[in-house]
Structure 1
């Protein structure tokens, strides 16, 4: 049956995530600084007895291939783990993930306490807003059994083994600098009350600033640009460059995890929209093969979606840990 996270005098917490083949999910979660352990197993099935891998693969047990994640909340938040999980799955695919098909590969997040439930539901609601056909299970944990030893740390022992998760995500997880748990999105009613009309129009309704009308288009000071809605750090002045487009432009995000990409076919065009991770704010669009950009990538961002924090104010504003990136 399931275990309780009692490590270190009960300080450790746990969450259970199912996202296709557990080999990749286990390796991804173990990559995160602050994760103490990740155990491949089977969760939320019909039986009170431990199933075998073959039985789970039959699709008749109700179990999902699941990873038990034990983490130190002093080093990484549950929100960070859940947002990372969503980057690894297709939340609209209830029939499996990647090449793995069947109910045993369905996506789900299973919690063991109400505090965790509130965080998971909050993140899931943000993800639901930007995913048509959201089908991820968000449920209490009913049962969990560790998988056979051959499935534990599989990709560590077989680096070239099958994995449906893009390999770049493992590196992003290891190098995560911004924890979204510190930047919760307020409710819709509060946003409509506290945001300036132009900020609300851009971030919540997808509007676009007029070119050259926002002062950030020509801002050259040292510092970071954060989500105007949540304060989540998004871009560094070190990645800002002068562009003829008329909007603030950046060659890269401060942390690859802080931005989310979505296909945009509005106005008869086919573009890639950029949204903030924790706040789901509309930021702008990203383009490739930009001759002005040092990286060839142009994040074309609405100034109204940002708030600039000068370098001299970063520590007092709570961003001191990012001063080396400016």
Structure 2
């Protein structure tokens, strides 16, 4: 994690409430570009700083919240917001994980209007994924740091309680793709830009016929990006010829660009894969694939992808990812 030294006047702040603050703090500390994360209590009744016991009573109106100070030259606010949404269940109105009560409610609190606009835009994309949504998006009213015992808790207590999957910490620390560069266009623009088949697949969850899309047999070196936003998703390095009949990849270029959810359609139980910033339906991911080098198959619709040949990557703004292909 960076230290707060020269240039600190350019640092920005955002506040995340998502259940127990121990895990949220550690998650944000994992991100390159986050310079500080402080566990505390936010948006409760005005007055003296509350104690942990008072907040846990549920009578103060405060939520366990993490103040995140970040360097926008190294990590964008959309990257932090989308990461936060991966760590919580936005459909849970009663808390997160084993933590129940109003003090464990989910929220994003901003301290300036510029941040508010960015947070709302990313939240609009996340909201599309859920039939119910219980995350407060509000201005920051107040914030008090929690007691020293709670700061860096998981760093000091290895194996301590955390409702966030530990693998998410490593994903956060290896983030390569900045979502700020790939905003979702308006619905009208998407409709205008895509073919009828691309629209049907990405926006309505349809599936290409097997062996029907040219990208299934594409073997050139290059990058596969979201057809809607251009967000980088897969590399030719991780593509393999699968008998499934769709483009198949053993890994994404950055796990943070993937959103996973349970799909019980057609009498099956599968894991759907959608893109982070575009919320495009991409396909499904399966384990135990003997053809895959990693044993994992990302089975992706070609209509969800656009292929950028290696020799055109720098010209199209993907030069920083050329080492991945």
Same fold flag (TM > 0.5): yes
Question: Does 1:311 pair with 2:310?
Answer: yes
Cα distance in 1 for partners of 2:290, 2:52 equals: 52
Q: Could you state the TM-score of these two structures normalised by the residue count of structure 2?
A: 0.96
Of stretches 6-15 and 273-282 in structure 1, the one that deviates more from structure 2 is 6-15
Alpha carbons of structure 1 residues 49 and 9: separation in structure 2 relative to 1, 3 Å? same
Residue in 2 that maps onto 1:274: 273
Offset of residue 123 of structure 1: 1.3
Q: Does 1:159 align with 2:133?
A: no
Counterpart position of 1:177: 176
**Whole-angstrom distance in 1 between the partners of 2:275 and 2:190:** 15
- Counterparts of 2:77 and 2:47 in 1: how far apart (Å)? 28
Give secondary structure in 2 for the equivalent of 1:121: helix
Cα deviation per residue 1:101-159 (whole Å; 9 max; x = unaligned)?
11101110001111111111111111111122110111111111111111111111112
1:145-192 Cα offsets, whole Å, 9 max, x none, are 111111111111112211111111111111111111111001112211
- Taking the aligned partners of 2:268 and 2:29, their CA distance within structure 1 comes to 40
Is 1:116 the equivalent of 2:143? no
Q: CA contact under 8 A between 1:234 and 1:258: conserved in structure 2?
A: yes
Instruction: State the distance in 2 between where 1:21 and 1:227 align.
Output: 34
Partner of 1:126: 125
Which 4+ stretches in 1 moved above 2 angstroms? 5-10
The match for 1:193 is 192
* Paired residues, number: 322
TM-score by length of 1: 0.96
Give SS of 1:123's match.
helix
Counterpart position of 1:148: 147
Instruction: Specify the SS of the correspondent of 1:164.
Output: coil
Q: How far, CA to CA, are the matches of 2:69 and 2:241 in structure 1? A: 45
Deviation per residue, 1:254-308 (Å, 9 max, x gap): 1111111111122222221110011000011111111211111111111111011
Residues 48, 143 of structure 1: 8 Å contact kept: no
Q: Which residue of 2 aligns with 1:251?
A: 250
Q: What whole-Å deviation, never above 9, does each CA across 1:10-30 have from its counterpart, x for those lacking one? A: 311110000111111111101
Q: Which residue of 2 aligns with 1:79?
A: 78
